[in-house]
Structure 1
């Protein structure tokens, strides 16, 4: 496969070490009482590493990705990207950090059904560009082709779940992010397409030097990672009565 083309108008952002320290995250149950979702003493991920998160459903894999992305803040502890403590940033600052640094493959895709494949892939560019130029369109088309998406004018709302997942992955890596987070990126794909997607995620991370963190039950995808982190479900004990 050809190497990814660069976007001249986007400055390179180098991957940095990721450090989670003393993480505790609580959610509220149906009765309104908080319970612990994550209790993680520490996790250090070097810049450019490829890490797989595995564990049973409910073990906190998605919550951990959301913490790393700055979409939520921990109830205790910190999340740092290099010398920047992301968990201490304001909402606006975290938004700007994500835009400059992060590509996220959400488990629920978050595509816009009324937009076509090309528009969904290039959507991140609309937040920082007045106009999407030929280089950006070319890269989007190249990514779509590598994903096996041949019709860029099909609306996202008529795509299969597997096709939607591939659009979401192409969108996440469009801007050559320094940090790629993927939540069950192969869950809606058959074995052949899952292998292609897993290879693509590793390739784009390697080609750009990005850090890649995948939460998955897919043993073949996890085998592509440099390191695997096992998350165990925290016993469901109301926070106020926990030791």
Structure 2
């Protein structure tokens, strides 16, 4: 039987090999675990520099839930609960990110105006595979966009995110140009990922952002990238190994996505 030190060396070599690889085309990568993250695992475990080779498009969260993350055109941006949005250093770390190399398979132009519900209805009419994995980029003029960000959570033990909704900060922007970066993921990916629609916003001047709550948009170009598969890299932490993943957190996830309890 291999010694403990030998096993540790093997695991380190495997980890080094994993993060030296570049991304597979049409593939989604999850670093972290959505259900565990929403359940309170806010401590970062992987750097943005390690994630960067796997894509140019995505979203996630900062260390200790300090706002929201968006990945666009190979750059990582953070929006804090103060509303401040800025580019992140690759040495910083994250507890949860999903990312892919975005390459548009289909482009749609619409004049609008469209509300969030109308946008999702339009997307449903185009994303016809119920169990398809889709990355979606929406470039638009926003008559109105409402986003949110959580403050940093430092006190342990961390509470589940659905119990922290009173702490979130909301931002309302009018007549701004920018992008929505997001996904529609199928039900069978529930647990490690957030299924259904999930979007983050980033303004053209990169000073406004956050998790999308509501929107009215005009003059939009919608780009769709249909993905073929996905990989999940859960945290290699003691906290994750002890975390209860049997609990059904679907209602908690929905409340967090909407920014309010049902």
TM-score using structure 2 length: 0.25
Higher helix share: 1
Normalised to the residue count of structure 1, the TM-score between the two structures is 0.26
